[in-house]
Amino acid sequence: MDLFAAEIELLEKSEDRELTLRNLLYPIKSEFRFIFIDCPPSFGLLTLNSLIASESVLVPVQCEYFAMEGLSLLIKLLWRIRGGFNETLDMEGILLTMFNRHIALSRQVADDIRRIFRSKVYDTVIPRNIILAESPSYGKPAVIYAPNAPGTQAYIALAKEVLNDNSLLF
Ligand SMILES: Nc1ncnc2c1ncn2[C@@H]1O[C@H](COP(=O)(O)OP(=O)(O)OP(=O)(O)O)[C@@H](O)[C@H]1O
Ligand SMILES: [Mg+2]
């Protein structure tokens, strides 16, 4: 509800509404190695603000058919933003998630995305793992609730991969 209210408030602003988040983050940016902004699954003003405030975008993609369509729309949107508000916006990486190796469609979507986006796709794949859905109901992150679960281990591997990709920064 807070984010819904924020979207309305942004709509009512007369100027710089797309730049609000960037302007707010600017003075504190240097205090952090990473700032993660979790976006809604829609292309409203909140997402636009996030993409304009960001240096790069990490895109989680479910290994399902409609996710492919969403991905190509997102790529088009990123190009538009690069052509306008944020020329240096980069694609950090594409993360295959909800992967089920027993389902042919899941394997096929993962293969297709790797074939098209190649090195932009993380080696780490997040499997469909009920532990990841359960842990919030215990009020705990998966790394505390079930550190050895396959889904948790995959997220730890992802964190290492992201850090390695960014090692030149440190
Ligand atoms: N790898 C996974 N295996 C099983 N369940 C998962 C997995 N990843 C996420 N889930 C479950 O799916 C649901 C949605 O996950 P999540 O909130 O991460 O998605 P989202 O795309 O960010 O959703 P929203 O659009 O609401 O922000 C949650 O119930 C979560 O626990
Ligand atoms: Mg979410």
Q: Using CA atoms, how far apart are residues 87 and 79, in angstroms rounded to an integer? A: 9
Q: Residue 6: CA atoms inside 13 Å, Cβ hemisphere, count?
A: 14
pLDDT for position 69: 86
- Closest approach atom of ligand 1 to CA 135: 31
Please name the fold of domain 2-123.
Rossmann fold (3.40.50)
Partners of residue 38 on adjacent β-strands? none
Which backbone phi and psi does 48 adopt, to 5 degrees?
-60, -45
Residue nearest to atom 16 of ligand 1 (CA): 133
pLDDT for position 2: 94
Residue ranges of alpha helices (H) inside the chain are 2-12, 20-25, 45-53, 65-82, 104-117, 130-134, 142-145, 150-165
Show the tokens assigned to 115.
Answer: 């074939």
**Which residues, other chains included, contact 9 with Cβ-Cβ below 8 Å and sequence gap of 6+?**
none
Q: Using CA atoms, how far apart are residues 86 and 57, in angstroms rounded to an integer? A: 12
Show the tokens assigned to 161.
Answer: 């991969």
Q: Using CA atoms, how far apart are residues 37 and 78, in angstroms rounded to an integer? A: 16
User: What is the rounded average pLDDT of the residues 80-106?
Assistant: 96
- Backbone region of residue 38 per phi and psi (left: phi > 0; alpha: psi in -120 to 50; beta: other values): beta
User: Would you say how long the chain is, in residues?
Assistant: 170
Q: Strand, helix or coil at 57?
A: strand
The domain limits of the chain are 2-123, 129-170
pLDDT > 90: percent of the chain:
89
pLDDT for position 165: 87
Is the model's pLDDT at 136 over the cut of 80? yes
Probe residue for ligand 1, chosen from 71, 132, 134, 155 as the CB with the greatest number of ligand atoms within 8 Å: 132
Is the model's pLDDT at 42 over the cut of 90? no
Distance 168 CA to ligand 1 centre (A): 31
